[in-house]
A and B are shown apart, each in its own frame.
Chain A
Amino acid sequence: EVQVVESGGDLVQPGGSLRLSCAASGIMFSNFNMNWERQAPGKGLEWVSYISVDSNTIYYADSVKGRFTISRDNAKNSLYLQMNSLRAEDTAVYYCAINGIWGQGTMVTVSS
């Protein structure tokens, strides 16, 4: 059974940093391109970032470009999102998904 588990969400002050992790099991992680998506409270879904299987191709939403960094470790079946210079508008549940299977998400709250 494929399982996806996100972690690392927390309450952080504006301007602060967080590192999110996503661990996948039951599937060949290294075969899949990966994305982070997010959902602000009461709002719709928003794509955040993409990384290819070999980490050679990376894209970011304009809203996070220059502040967030996506990475992966295929040996550890893990995906990461380093989030710097956090803003109130980054408050959301952050999700990763592999082959259409989404994790339960991790909550990031940016507030003083």
Chain B
Amino acid sequence: DIQMTQSPSSLSASVGDRVTITCRASQGIRNDLGWYQQKPGKAPKRLIYAASSLQSGVPSRFSGSGSGTEFTLTISSLQPEDFATYYCLQYNSFPRTFGGGTKVEIK
């Protein structure tokens, strides 16, 4: 199974900050990776697919990069509505595996 190591597990940031979250795969997954945002009590929302493609309707302050084993989600200027938990998901092979999540909190 492919393990997805996500870091950090939590972070505190201020509105306007640039935020970076990383996922490392235990083996190469090409660009078969998505990023998801989840707010308390709500379903996950896909932000990025194929490592760097922005889901329709998602603000352009979200971006993804990486290929192979190392991937990054960047929020260029954190907004109040961005405080949430973020997960990566590899879909290169089964079982699909999620990262452990990154909780983004208000500083």
Contacts and interface: CB of A to CB of B under 8 A. Distances in A.
Given A95-B43, A100-B34, A104-B43, A44 B98 contact: yes
B92 to A, nearest CB: 12
B8 interface: no
Interface stretch (B10-18, B44-52, B62-70, B73-81): B44-52
A35 interface: yes
B96 A102 contact: no
A74 to B, nearest CB: 21
A20 to B, nearest CB: 15
A47 B34 contact: no
Interface residues of A, number: 17
Contact of B46 (A47, A62, A100, A105): A100
B36 to A, nearest CB: 8
Given A45-B87, A95-B44, A103-B43, A59 B100 contact: no
Interface of A: 35, 44-47, 50, 59, 61-62, 95, 97, 100-105
